[in-house]
């Protein structure tokens, strides 16, 4: 696991590989959840939710970032239900 400084950024590869023809795929909706402890408050746990949509353009998938509000609400509901 890489440790980031306060002003550093990092790009991650999610490892998604589409194998085979994508003709039947019109779009993909994907969420990424990042749990972290901000420096210097390593006792504080934070979470960021990112959402991306891929839309097919010919033989390629083009990824676009999207607002994560609905996804974050669904995650909160899931986690609350799982805690009981």
- How many domains would you assign to the chain? 1
Domain around 71? 1-84
Indicate the DSSP class of residue 3: P
pTM: predicted TM-score of the whole model, two decimal places: 0.65
In order, the DSSP letters of 10-76 are: ----------S--TT--EEEEEEEEEE--TT-TT--EEEEEEEEEEEETTEEEEEEE--HHHHHHHH
At 64 the pLDDT is: 92
pLDDT digits (tens, 9 = 90+) for 24-78: 778 888 888 888 887 777 788 888 888 999 888 887 888 899 998 888 888 889 8
At 61 the pLDDT is: 82
At 21 the pLDDT is: 64
Query: What 3-state class would DSSP assign to 82?
Result: helix
pLDDT digits (tens, 9 = 90+) for 3-21: 777 777 777 766 666 666 6
């Amino acid at each position: 696991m890489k440790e980031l400084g306060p002003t550093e950024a990092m790009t991650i590869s999610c490892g998604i590989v589409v194998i085979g023809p994508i003709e039947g795929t019109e779009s993909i909706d994907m969420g990424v959840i990042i749990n972290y402890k901000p420096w210097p408050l390593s006792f504080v746990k934070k979470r960021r939710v990112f959402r991306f949509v891929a839309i097919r353009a010919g033989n390629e998938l083009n990824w676009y970032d999207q607002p994560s509000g609905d996804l974050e609400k669904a995650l909160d509901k899931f986690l609350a239900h799982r805690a009981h």
